[in-house]
Structure 1
């Protein structure tokens, strides 16, 4: 690694540390940051799983950081729910969220306070809603989202491509003309360059909003 890159990594570390301290929902005192070639690794302890997610989001808000590796451990206070208690709470949550996640479409398995989600839904927002509902349960240490998407609506690839490109233009993203959209069946691949992580995430979200999409490979990179 060159000396210039080494200095840049130290600058990234300082910026991420400052962003963590700036984020009110994160207690950054026990979180460590290391960066190699723009890829950040967070380690340490937090009190809840939502706090862990907020810490990862804070790291990716820093311009130029494309990956956040998670080595943070959720340290629960005494009296945390057992795996059986978590499984029962998860079942109750899904029973109450049938508008977003169809009843019976998703099941939760709990091992060592890590929830594994399995099942099938039609849309990415439903998959994310299931994950978010589990993240808010007290005592959760991690979530493995293995829910699969089924293409309930079959849309010609050219039509899907056109709709995604139109959405990017509507969102007034300045880099929209530089984002390539390739569609193979129900799979979408995005490529090109944008100037920020937020624009990269927005492009991926636009792709997920297209009917019939079951996978998005976001290969969009950040410009220097």
Structure 2
């Protein structure tokens, strides 16, 4: 007697073998010899053909056929298709380290996990995934690999100020806790404050910046 896992394998192979069935969008699950077909068929004829193919497999006790018909012209918004499009977009975006990010889609809701070195990489991945048609919502659970380094943040702010004559980086105070950076002190103009904040965001490990810099 075949196990459920063996039956599942055999049904999938039968669907692949049948030329009248496109198995790409058809899922198969088996419980106690009962086979459930779910996913999409491109026509009613293909739907019937898939059911017949499953019935041909030895050991199948019953069929629970839950296939939906989706014509080629219909929008392709199945979860696995959304996930595939997101991964394709990631592969073409040089700002996203695709090898470090995992994508899960459930009923149109996207969850991103994994870890990256920079906050902008996490933000870029979420932005790209959110633009894919069919996405109903997104949870960005990508972790930032490193903790914020005060000395690195300080250097980036100093370098940014040095590029613009007359700005004094020493007037900016910096505190870090985990991935959070808090800026304080006084500067002469609004653009100096924004420059310090942007430099802090550019440091690896930073996921949150609180700007308490005062314009004097």
| TM value normalised by structure 2 | 0.48
Relative contact order (alpha carbons < 8 A, sep ≥ 6): 1 or 2 greater?
Answer: 1
| TM value normalised by structure 1 | 0.47
Rg larger in 1 or in 2? 2
